Amino acid sequence: MKNEYKVAIIGGGIVGCSIAYHLAKFGESDVVVFEKSYLSSGSTGRCAGGIRQQWSSPNNVILAMRSVSLFEKLSQETGVDIEYEQGGYLVLSYDDQEAAQFEKNVEMQRGLGLDVQILTPKQVKERYPYIDVDGVRLATFCQKDGHANPHLANFAYAKAARRLGVDILTHTEVIAVEVLKDGFELFTNKGIVRSQILINAAGPYSREIGKMVGVDLPTESYRHQIMVTEAVKNFFDPMAISFSGNFYMRQTKHGQFIMGQGDIDEKPGINNDVTYKFEKEMAKKMSKIFPFLSKLRIVRHWSGHYNMSPDAQPIIGESPKVPNFYYAVGFSGHGFMLAPAVGEALAQMILYGKTLHVDISELNLDRFEKGVVREKNVV
Ligand code: FAD
């Protein structure tokens, strides 16, 4: 660890490592990433790895589309096979009002250049005879959506960033930050470091990091549980999701089924416990919709956190209050899939003063002063 860096990033999840990699790729490798535990120990390593471009808000569609084009090259670019599969995302609606909204979403998504289809329940059954479509009103499908292994994608960015000269320090916790006239002083469990620029990529702890520099980030973390079955031969290509049905599920490259749901009774806060209630509810619901699952044993169950923002869209940009303090936080359950585009955009913003591929100006903190239009497509 040096005493001084141009850029310090707090958080060694996929967002922090993607930002670090893109900064180095664009020529700035005087960068340090502080990770208080091991890489991918936060939400990233606990997530389902879904990569979806079908959103209700144009900003998310645009970021996800850019991310997909970066995910497509990531294994080759970094030399780490991230187990990326584009088997499509099947979005099932069980609610008439939601189905009507899906038709509007598809119009908007197609307008942005996304190739997305609307499927009737009969068409879903024809494509995927092993899904019970009872109650399904309508579905949408995008073949270019898919999934990857979140640990490997996190490691891929870290490995490539290190190769370009970035210092990534695990088991190094930032405990306090002092804002100086010309930068920041970071107090860590391994010593004191100065940086000109500070980036908050601390996932579930984003608000705490904001507080350290006197910036109130309106994010709150909620526990989400997730479980995985034993492995069987691969046959299930898409990732299936439903907002009205409250579930998501996919088969991994190694044959396991991984699945989760949201719980409206969760209170904000960090809580890594798991509950039997989750397993019972998931097993019952999922075996009805995907009858083949009833034959499989659950092998593991864990929890992680969604770092929620008020409109369920990320908060990205530079603080208007503390110059050179940047954040990429509040991903609201979809930060894995947005990390490539966000890392690239934030690196460009810092180095060139503007982004080159996607416009992230509408995702700054100021937006909440104008009111909140919530992203609807979140489980
Ligand atoms: P994290 O991965 O949490 O990384 C932040 C890191 O900061 C942590 O490793 C933490 O240890 C570190 N840190 C915090 N404070 C400090 C400090 N003071 N000093 C040093 N280090 C610190 N997203 C998708 O796109 N697709 C999905 O299918 C999906 N499924 C999900 C399923 C579940 C069950 C959960 C919980 C989340 C899911 N998500 C999904 C959301 C996704 O996991 C997150 O949005 C994403 O991983 C956020 O990445 P991050 O790098 O911002 O945060």
Query: Please, what are the domains in the chain?
Result: 4-47+151-219+311-370 (3.50.50.60), 86-145+222-304 (3.30.9.10)
Report how far ligand 1's centroid is from the alpha carbon of 309 (Å). 14
Report how far ligand 1's centroid is from the alpha carbon of 270 (Å). 12
Q: What is the pLDDT of residue 30?
A: 98
For ligand 1, whether the C-beta of 13 sits within 6 Å is: yes
Across the strands, what pairs with 301? 227
* Atom 52 of ligand 1, nearest CA residue: 203
Whole-model pTM: value is 0.98
For ligand 1, whether the C-beta of 43 sits within 6 Å is: yes
* Token digits of residue 299: 């092998």
Rounded to the nearest 5°, which phi and psi values hold at 251?
-100, 135
Report how far ligand 1's centroid is from the alpha carbon of 203 (Å). 5
Distance CA 214, CA 341 (A): 27
Give the mean pLDDT per block of 10 residues along the chain (379 residues): 97 98 98 98 98 96 98 98 98 97 97 98 97 98 98 98 98 98 97 98 98 98 98 97 98 97 95 96 97 97 98 97 98 98 98 97 93 90
For ligand 1, whether the C-beta of 312 sits within 6 Å is: no
For ligand 1, whether the C-beta of 173 sits within 6 Å is: yes
Report how far ligand 1's centroid is from the alpha carbon of 144 (Å). 24
Q: What is the pLDDT of residue 371?
A: 87
- Ligand 1: nearest atom to the Cα of 147: 28
Please say whether the beta carbons of 341 and 67 come within 8 A.
yes
Q: What is the pLDDT of residue 119?
A: 98
Interacting residues of 176 by C-beta distance below 8 A, sequence separation 6+? 186, 187, 212
